């Protein structure tokens, strides 16, 4: 995949990840503020799982940002050399 297509794919995936992170944060806030009828152990397990999912999504987002930056630098350097 060429750099332009990969950058486009990265941007799309980053948007999806950001939406997913927001949704999981809403779920986490809901769990933290309410659901008094839920079994406390089950509630804690859901909170923990949601936090872990958010962390995983944020790690993927960071990896994509690093890849995006590397592609941009490579393209700028490659173009600057006149190659």
Domain ranges of the chain: 3-80
SS3 18: helix
Is the overall model pTM greater than 0.75, yes or no?
Answer: yes
What are the structure tokens assigned to 74, written together? 């490579």
The torsion of the CA quartet 14, 20, 50, 54, rounded to 10 degrees, works out to: 20
Q: How far apart are CA 83 and CA 76, in angstroms?
A: 11
Angle at 58 between CA 47 and CA 77, to 5 degrees: 180
Q: How far apart are CA 21 and CA 9, in angstroms?
A: 18
Residue 80 — pLDDT band, cuts 50, 70, 90? low
Q: What's the mean pLDDT in 11-19? A: 98
């Amino acid at each position: 995949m060429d750099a332009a297509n990969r950058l486009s794919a990265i941007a799309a995936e980053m948007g999806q990840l950001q939406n997913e992170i927001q949704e999981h944060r809403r779920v986490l806030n809901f769990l933290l503020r309410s659901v008094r009828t839920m079994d406390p152990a089950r509630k804690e397990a859901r909170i923990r799982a949601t936090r872990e999912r958010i962390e995983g999504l944020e790690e993927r987002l960071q990896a994509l940002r690093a890849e995006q930056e590397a592609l941009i630098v490579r393209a700028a350097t490659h173009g600057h050399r006149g190659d």
